[in-house]
Chains A and B, each alone.
Chain A
Amino acid sequence: MLLPLYGVVMGVRRQAYVFTIADNGSDSVADLEAFANKPKSIFTSNDVGSTKDKNYPRASTSINQFITVEAMGSTPGFRNASASAWNPRGALNLLIENTYFYNQPDGTWSEGLTGTASPYPVSVQRQRSYNAFPRVYFDENTNYDVTYYMGNSIIGEPDNFVAVEYVQVAAS
């Protein structure tokens, strides 16, 4: 028998968000190309800070909310792939207000936590490089975003034909 859960209050919720971008025919090539080489929100697929074409604002905690980040991971593969074994060279970063959580040692922007360091899905061959995820809290009334940077274009980069000039004498 199903018991109604009226009045149940969920004060604490563990939630996960899985973002997928795939070249499977559902997105135009232009959209796929536009995704690469810049941090994109995993919630909206937009550029960071943009709410273009989306009828909701940037992610934020309300005044009665507090978020602790438990884990992040992405498709592994850091080095440039071959034509037959593509990988995204992807990295995740957290944007809190206008500050990225992962920065370079000199304070400049970093792509973030790579999929190689923190793979998803985790497998026997692909394990996290550390045991405890860094403490990241989103306090109440905080704008935040989770960005995914994909360094390799999902459809690849076009090459150009390069060869040598040749002149052939044609008989009349």
Chain B
Amino acid sequence: MVASLFKKITDIDTFATYPDGSLEVACRAQISDYTVGTVNIQDVAYDENSSMMCAVGNYFSDGTATNTGGDTIATQNIPLVALATAGATTPATTTWTLVPQYDSVDITLQAPQTEQSGLVSVIALPAGKSTNWVNETWLAVGHANTDFTAMGGGFSAQIAPNSNMTPLIVSIRTDGTTTFESSVNAGSRPSWAWTGLPNQVVTGINPSLLGDIVYSEQNDQLFMVGSCSADGNARSFGMLVETDFGGAFDTFEFMSKENNGVGTPSSPCLIRTCTIQETDVSGNPSATNTLCLYGGGSNYNGGIGGGTGIFGVYQPNFSLSWGLTKRVGTLAAGIYAVGGMWVDYINGVKGGTSDDYFNSVISIERVTTDGEDLYVIMGTSNDGPTMLISDAPIQTGATATPTVYDNTIATSGNTDVKFPEIDWFGPTLQANLPSGYTPDADKSAYSCVGLTNRKTKVLSGGMVDDGAIFPLSGPSGTGFLISMSRGAVDFNTDVQDNGELPQNTASFLKSYYIPNSEVDRFYILNSRINGLFFSSPTSGNMTDLSTVTPITNHKAEAYFEYILYDGIDALIAKKLQQLGVRVTITNLEWYKQDVLKQGLDLDADFFREWATSQTKENEKRERLAEFYGAFRPQKRQVRQEFFDDYNNREEILKEMDFHREESPLDDAPYNDEVAEDMEAKKLEKDLDDKIRIEKLVDEETADEDKT
């Protein structure tokens, strides 16, 4: 069996091939403070209901922008919402509505600063499902530059390597309007007002970064992950956030989870990715069985590597009340090789070493669109990009003998997390990277999408900075795109080797499937992890976004060659066949010449057959034309001119046939028979005349007697 893979992309349509792409052009036209070539898209989400696409990221402001308070904003990155409002899947001609989030950032760029202000993740809400976000179509998260000391009492200037950032949440509507929440002076509902989740102490902890967001359709709530830091020192933590909307107050609640140790780490502890499942153990939708897998990296004690990857499972309080504790299960705490899933599974079950442990979990995606339902857990390791793939959904239950799986997380004691089928693909992924793409520790897969029709997967990734989500500077390198079979058995990198991908320095690629596409069209996002402009390309197309069609370029051909003998030649061909002579042009010409030499000594059946066949053929054509609803031009009489000389020959030929069949020994025709016949007829006529005359005479005589 040949696995379904794609090997090539075609019909590439770009949003922003510098400098003439539609997004770049729109930025120049719509953003007065835009610095040419700096638009940088980090995530996209396509809304099937409106057929619009929302891209989020940032651009570099030239320092001339002002916020709604009239303050001039210093040169810095500005979070950007870019809506493709028309023709979202035909990028070259799409219409853009750009909404810079000026008010989300502090007007002065704070220090230390290791993150860019920007939006890094966006989701499309399912149409008609949400009450709490009834007017919103998309929700995006990221972070923005902020001045903690200016926020008032209780906040100190940041020295943790999370930099001076505040979580940023933007709700987006199809009409291009947005609302945001970030902790800046001019902001509304700042995150410093976020409260702790039940039983969680968050005093002195500042939420700082957001990396990912998922929507709970069963509960109409949100779950987000990110990072927070201890006020005034270098300690930082992963952050888990959920909403408590729809009550008396719409609030965000958070807790810290894992940390970056007790040393002087140069990078923060980050939880950067999450996903969600909302079914009971029988697979039925369930509001009280919401489980979220999350992942990130701890940078524990100042060093990334050897198992600093964070992995866990979380049950939101909005799904099942936490009671007096919490419902969070740690699968890997990010504290080197002291236990957890990296040690227990990658080493204990799969035989990997500490160099194979996850340094960071960069992305967890649940891939369902190709007919499989899998969790794809992607990240970094000392040996290079690594990956776990598990059947979804997982099952959980309080650890016991035996464990009863009920898809809840125990509030006390441990929880058994059952991966129905799971395998580790670290060495496999590293061995199947594109030619010349070395499996370094700062590279990871970022996204995995399933192609609905082809029933195969696209794996894309590139450069990673384990210590930041959207770093100001980062490692140099390019992204990669790999074709992976649905069951992760086969890999192919032909598309990379063909040099067809959009690439920039310090970039990574993500892929997003466009729903309802007969040809499995998908977006390729080419994003930069640092502040490089488009003027620093390495190879390929310099574009932020493109849509492509995956193909294999497989081709099969069939060839059929024949000779068509028409009209009289067909009759001769048939004659040859009857004679057992092979029908070839040479043989046909030979036979034709032979007949001609005999002076066209053809019998009458030859022409009678031809005439009859013409009539039948015409009738047949008329019937067919009528049957298919359209009369066709009547077929020209085949070789009519050839037979013109013989139009009156049939009678003659009949006579010829008659004579030809006679034997020379037969008696000659007896001419007197004709004469006698003529004589008999003459006598008969004479007799008739005589009788008629006598009859007339009798009638005349009778008339005279009357007078």
- Contact surface of A with B, Cβ cutoff 8 Å: 7, 9-25, 28-30, 33, 42, 55-57, 62-75, 80-84, 86, 88, 90, 92, 115, 120-121, 135, 137-140, 146, 148, 150, 152-172
Contact = CB atoms under 8 A, between A and B. Distances in A.
Nearest to B412: A172
B574 A157 contact: no
A172 B574 contact: no
Interface stretch (B81-89, B95-103, B270-278, B481-489): B481-489
A160 B486 contact: yes
Interface in B1-27: 1-5, 10-11
Interface stretch (B125-133, B439-447, B638-646, B689-697): B638-646
B313 interface: yes
B518 A29 contact: yes
Contacts of A14: 561-564, 585
B582 interface: yes
Interface in B396-453: 396, 399, 403, 409-423, 453
B519 interface: yes
Interface stretch (B28-36, B210-218, B302-310, B370-378): B370-378
B489 A25 contact: no
B659 interface: no
Contacts of B456: 156, 158
A161 B374 contact: yes
Interface string B322-358: 0001101111010000000100110001000000000
A82 B552 CA distance: 13
B200 interface: no
A65 B570 contact: yes
B413 A172 contact: yes
B335 to A, nearest CB: 11
Contacts of B568: 11
A166 B374 contact: no
A9 B2 CA distance: 51
A15 B560 CA distance: 8
A17 B326 CA distance: 72
A9 B567 contact: yes
Contact of A66 (B349, B410, B485, B583): B583
Contacts of A161: 372, 374, 389, 391, 421, 423, 486-488
B555 interface: yes
A123 to B, nearest CB: 13
A13 B489 CA distance: 51
A125 B437 CA distance: 34
A86 B372 contact: no
Given A30-B453, A140-B574, A22 B564 contact: no
Q: Give the interface size bracket for B toward A.
A: 35 or more
Given A154-B554, A159-B489, A167-B417, A29 B454 contact: yes
Contacts of B613: 63-64, 140
A30 B516 CA distance: 13
B239 to A, nearest CB: 18
A25 B554 CA distance: 11
Given A74-B559, A169-B414, A156 B421 contact: no
Contacts of A25: 10-11, 519, 549, 551
B642 A13 contact: no
Contacts of B411: 172
Contacts of B570: 64-66, 140
Nearest to A29: B453
Contacts of A92: 558, 560
A11 B419 CA distance: 73
Nearest to A94: B560
Contacts of A172: 325-326, 328-330, 409-415
Nearest to B628: A55
A171 B328 CA distance: 8
Interface in B645-677: none
B573 A66 contact: yes
B62 interface: no
A155 B330 CA distance: 41
Interface string B574-585: 100100001111
Contacts of A9: 567, 639, 642
A16 B559 CA distance: 7
B492 A83 contact: yes
B705 interface: no
B684 interface: no
Contacts of B557: 18-20, 74-75, 120-121
B167 interface: no
A170 B555 contact: no
Contacts of B189: none
B329 A23 contact: no
Contacts of B5: 83, 156
B561 A86 contact: no
23 contacts: A14-B562, A15-B562, A16-B560, A17-B559, A19-B559, A20-B555, A57-B624, A72-B561, A74-B556, A75-B556, A80-B1, A81-B2, A83-B485, A150-B556, A158-B454, A160-B487, A161-B374, A162-B487, A163-B391, A163-B423, A167-B416, A168-B341, A170-B396
